[in-house]
Structures are given as C-alpha cells and as structure tokens.
A and B are shown apart, each in its own frame.
Chain A
Amino acid sequence: MKKKFPLFLVFAFGILGIIPFIVPHPIVQNIDESIRNDILKILVAFALVLGLGSLLKVHMDKIKRKRESWQYSWILIISFLVSSIIGLFGGVEGAGPLRTFIGSFHFDIQTLYENIFMPLGATMFALLAFYMASASYRAFRARSFEATLLLITAFIIMIGIIPLGEKISPHLPSFAQWIMTVPNVAGQRGILLGVALGIIATSLKIILGIERNWLGGGE
C-alpha cells in the first residue's frame, strides 16, 4: 500500500495531465481546470507554508547548535519576520492597516524591495562580469581547431552586437544575427529534440510505474 498508493496517484494525475491536451470535450476541460485552479493551488499553498517552516526550522537549529556561520541565520530570520509583517499588514506601498512610514521615511514593502533587495541582487550579479572577464582571459585559448572556431565566432558575436560592429562594417551585425539564427539554431534544435524525447520517455516511465527511484527507500 505504501508504494502502490503513490504509484496510483502519479499514474492517475499523469494521465489526467495529458488527456486535456488531446480531448477538447468540456467535461474533460472542466475537470482539468478544477484540478489546476482548486487542487493545485491548495497544494502549492501547503508547499509554501511547509517550505517556510522548514527554512525557519533549519536556521533555528543552526543557531541553537551554534553551527558554522550561525550568526547569519539571525539575519535571515529577522529579515523574514520583518518583511513578512510589513508585507502582510502594510500592503503594497503602505496601503494596508499597518502604518509603514514615519514622517517622510517610508518602509513599505516596495521601498524595502527597491532599496535592499534590488541593490543586493544587482551587486551579486555584477560581480560575475569581473569573474567572467578574468576567467575568459585565462581559459579562452586557441588550443585546437574547434577552440579557434569558437573563439572567432565569439569575437564576431561580441563585436556584432555592439554599435561598433555597425561602424566596422554594416554587414557585421547581420552576420552575427545569421550565426545566431542559422548555425546556432541547427545545433540547439538537435539538442532540444534529444532532450524532449528523453523527457517524454522518462515521464512515461514514471507515469507507468516502470521508473520508481523517485519513491526513495533504495532496494
């Protein structure tokens, strides 16, 4: 029963997920809509609460046991609580019942987002540009014919997509575009078809209960 019930659920919902794409009958479509709008929404709400609870539990435990970098867990918990309270009771741009301003100083969820989350996110990603520059200088070597071809293509694309490319030759941006739409597409499409066939095969194996690794528990 422990194994058969999950297998039955996967089979039933797997088939129910496929049928609406093939059968346009209103009964089938209504069942599909009801599964998505009612059951799936409830499941996601549970998963969200479960995920947040699990996150808090892990970090509380880390603080309790004073594991490595436990101090950062406090930052996470405090940030989580502050943003949750402001978001839930302050509303968007301070439209909720909680007062989210002191004089001209606002701390509503949008202000927090624009002044804390945005700069932090942008900074983290901006650092990547520096690592990429340094890594490409060290690793991008014309060691073989294939590597040389890659290097030349990269140069054409890099120059073709900047305004300088147009100034060097009006054909350069068009050539860069051609590389993206013809040779690139040819390669990408081959990979994608392979991946799609792999996904179909794996999905069918899971739905039909042939592939059971996801159940866990080893042998």
Chain B
Amino acid sequence: MKFIERLTTIDRRIIYIILAIVVLIPLISRSPERVRVMLPVEKLYNAVDTIPEDKVLIIDFGYAPQDMPELEPMGFALLRHAFEKRIKVLALCLYVQPLGLAQKALTEVTEEFNSVAQTNADSIIYGRDYVFLGWQPPPLIPMLGMGISITNVYTADYYGNKTDTLPLMRDVKNYNDVALLVSLSAGSIPRHWIAYAQNRFGVAVAAGVTAVSAADFYQYYQTGQFTGLMAGMKGAAEYEELVETRLNIKESRKASEALPSLTYGHLVMIAFIIVGNIGYFMQRRRRK
C-alpha cells in the first residue's frame, strides 16, 4: 500500500531536482544535436534563400526574455542566412520588451560577419545592409502603414537617424519592395500580420513561434498563408541545421545545443506521468 501511495505522491521537490539535473547537465557539455529538417522549416529557408536582390526581408522581433531560448536562435539563424546571402534586412519590434533582444541579435550577428570581413563590400554595414526601425505603437500602425510608406510610419530608426536618409530605405518604399516578412513571436502577432499586411497588401508572411503556441498556427501554414513555419526549439534547430549544412556557417547553434536538455526534460516528464498513472491504476484496482 505504501509503495502504491508513494507512486502518486512523489514530493514536488524531488521532481524539481531531477528536472533541474537533466536539463542542466546537457547544457554544460554543449554538444549540438543533429535534426532532420521538416517541410515547414525548409519552405521558410527556401523562401528566404530566393529573395531577389531588389527586395528586402522584414524580421519582426517579437520575443521577450521569457521566449528567448526558443525564438532567439531563430532570429540569429535568419540573420546569418540573410547576411550570408547579402539579403537586405529591415528589423522591427511591435512591442517595447523585445527591443533589447533585437538589438542584441543584430549586433552579435553583424560582429560575427565583420570579424572575418576583408573589405567594405564583405562587411555588414548599418543603413546599407540592414536597418533597425525600432518600435512604433500600436501594432496596427506599422502593419497597415507600411503598405503605403515605411518611412512615413518610421520617420526615425531605433538610433534616431532619419529613415529617409539611410541608403537602404531609398529603394524600399512599402510592402511592394518586401519579399518576405518573418514574425518571431510567442503571441498572436503572426496571425495579425496575415489579417492586415497579407490580406490587404499581399505581402508573404512566415512565422517562428514557441512550441506551446505552435498548434494555433499550423492552420495558416496548411492554407499557404504562412510561407513557412518554425515551431519551438526544434524548429529553430532545423533552421540552424540548414544554415550550417547549406551555407557552411559554423557559428554557435544555441537551439541545437539545447535540444538534449529538451529531450531529457521531455523524457523525465513522460516518466513521471507514467509513474503517476501506474500508481493511479493500482490504487483504483485495490479500491475495487
């Protein structure tokens, strides 16, 4: 009886300790896990890869620190891909919390490229190769306004420069000059990009979302409204895999390195659920 009771009443502190150990140990060893790339991520990669020279990629950095482990690697991988292929990038945020993370991603990836650049043409230069538009509330203003004029919505960039003076912005007027918009978000923002930017102006939209919210977005992928979809840490690791294998960029792969932690975390949770259920059924049988 005691054993059966114990199966259903394991102290939560024991669960916490075991989970902490299995999550932390793989993070110390930091060995990236290889993954098979699924179709939604491959479609997104191909869409970015085929952006023509005269069009830009918009990345909506919509993740706050709590979503960082899943969504930040997506941002890094997308930027590496775009910069490697010399695709022009417009970065923006619809909320204030992600601003610092967007700035961090842009600075770090730019430094990666510039540390090995030999000439000015090789380098990633602000205003020429990318622009950080910053934050313009409420989200509806940039979503609809950029269909008419991007520089009218964002008169100044994140650093206070007038956007119409930046070389990149001279050729980028509105959504007609945008090949793809990727929304990295833990909330419902990707579906608003579809409702306002895609339905009204026809801009192609893709998304990177957290695993827990992914179920809400597959319907947009299935209908083709999302060009591609990255879901959770696995989705980010798949994009990292493509960036490394196809572009030969061997930078740190945060999502792939964290996958073993995710694997063991999932297995521990499954094990505890099974143990709990065994105890539950044994108790039920005894009562009968």
Q: Mark A174-203, 1 if CB is under 8 A from B, else 0.
A: 100100110011001100100000000000
- Nearest 4 CB-CB pairs, A to B? A121-B65, A125-B66, A113-B100, A137-B272
Query: Contact check: which of A29, A91, A92, A158 meets B148 at CB < 8 Å?
Result: A29
Q: B254 to nearest A CB, angstroms?
A: 13
Could you tell me if B103 and A122 are in contact, using CB atoms closer than 8 angstroms? Answer: no
Query: A110-B103, A120-B65 given. 19 additional CB < 8 A pairs?
Result: A36-B141, A37-B141, A44-B138, A95-B160, A109-B100, A117-B100, A118-B65, A122-B68, A124-B66, A125-B65, A125-B67, A130-B19, A130-B20, A137-B269, A159-B270, A164-B267, A166-B35, A185-B218, A188-B215
A218 within 8 A of B: no
Could you tell me if A118 and B101 are in contact, using CB atoms closer than 8 angstroms? Answer: yes
Number of residues of chain A lying within 8 A (CB) of chain B: 57
Query: Contact check: which of A113, A130, A181 meets B218 at CB < 8 Å?
Result: A181
Given the interface contacts A36-B144, A114-B100, A184-B215, does A133 sit within 8 Å of B270 by beta carbon? no
Query: Contact check: which of A92, A118, A141 meets B159 at CB < 8 Å?
Result: A92
A133 to B22, CA, bound (A): 13
Could you tell me if A140 and B273 are in contact, using CB atoms closer than 8 angstroms? Answer: yes
B51 within 8 A of A: no
B189 within 8 A of A: no
Given the interface contacts A37-B141, A41-B141, A189-B219, does A134 sit within 8 Å of B15 by beta carbon? yes
Given the interface contacts A130-B19, A159-B270, does A141 sit within 8 Å of B280 by beta carbon? yes
Complex contacts, B260 vs chain A, CB 8 Å: 163
Complex contacts, A130 vs chain B, CB 8 Å: 15-16, 19-20
Q: A41 to nearest B CB, angstroms?
A: 7
Complex contacts, B33 vs chain A, CB 8 Å: 163
B228 within 8 A of A: no
Complex contacts, B272 vs chain A, CB 8 Å: 133, 136-137
Number of residues of chain B lying within 8 A (CB) of chain A: 67
A90 within 8 A of B: no
Could you tell me if B270 and A33 are in contact, using CB atoms closer than 8 angstroms? Answer: no
Given the interface contacts A122-B66, A136-B273, A180-B215, does A163 sit within 8 Å of B35 by beta carbon? yes
Q: B168 to nearest A CB, angstroms?
A: 19
Could you tell me if B259 and A162 are in contact, using CB atoms closer than 8 angstroms? Answer: yes
Could you tell me if A110 and B141 are in contact, using CB atoms closer than 8 angstroms? Answer: no
Q: B148 to nearest A CB, angstroms?
A: 5
Q: Mark A102-142, 1 if CB is under 8 A from B, else 0.
A: 00000001100110011111101100011011101110111
Q: A190 to nearest B CB, angstroms?
A: 10
Q: Mark A19-63, 1 if CB is under 8 A from B, else 0.
A: 001000000010011001100110010001000000000000000
Complex contacts, B137 vs chain A, CB 8 Å: 44, 48
Could you tell me if B138 and A40 are in contact, using CB atoms closer than 8 angstroms? Answer: yes
Q: Mark B49-92, 1 if CB is under 8 A from A, else 0.
A: 00000000000000011111100000000000000000000000
Query: Contact check: which of B38, B64, B103 meets A173 at CB < 8 Å?
Result: B38
A163 to B273, CA, bound (A): 20
Q: Please, which residue of chain B has its CB at the minimum distance from the CB of A186?
A: B219
Complex contacts, A113 vs chain B, CB 8 Å: 99-100
Q: A201 to nearest B CB, angstroms?
A: 17
A140 to B280, CA, bound (A): 10
Could you tell me if A162 and B141 are in contact, using CB atoms closer than 8 angstroms? Answer: no
B285 within 8 A of A: no
Q: Please, which residue of chain A has its CB at the minimum distance from the CB of B34?
A: A163
A124 to B67, CA, bound (A): 11
Q: A87 to nearest B CB, angstroms?
A: 10
Could you tell me if B266 and A121 are in contact, using CB atoms closer than 8 angstroms? Answer: no
Could you tell me if A92 and B103 are in contact, using CB atoms closer than 8 angstroms? Answer: yes
Q: B94 to nearest A CB, angstroms?
A: 12
Q: Please, which residue of chain A has its CB at the minimum distance from the CB of B10?
A: A137
A16 within 8 A of B: no
Query: Contact check: which of A40, A151, A161, A192 meets B141 at CB < 8 Å?
Result: A40
A173 to B19, CA, bound (A): 24
A155 within 8 A of B: yes
Query: Contact check: which of A138, A140, A162 meets B266 at CB < 8 Å?
Result: A162
A174 to B262, CA, bound (A): 19
Q: Please, which residue of chain B has its CB at the minimum distance from the CB of A113?
A: B100
Could you tell me if A121 and B64 are in contact, using CB atoms closer than 8 angstroms? Answer: yes
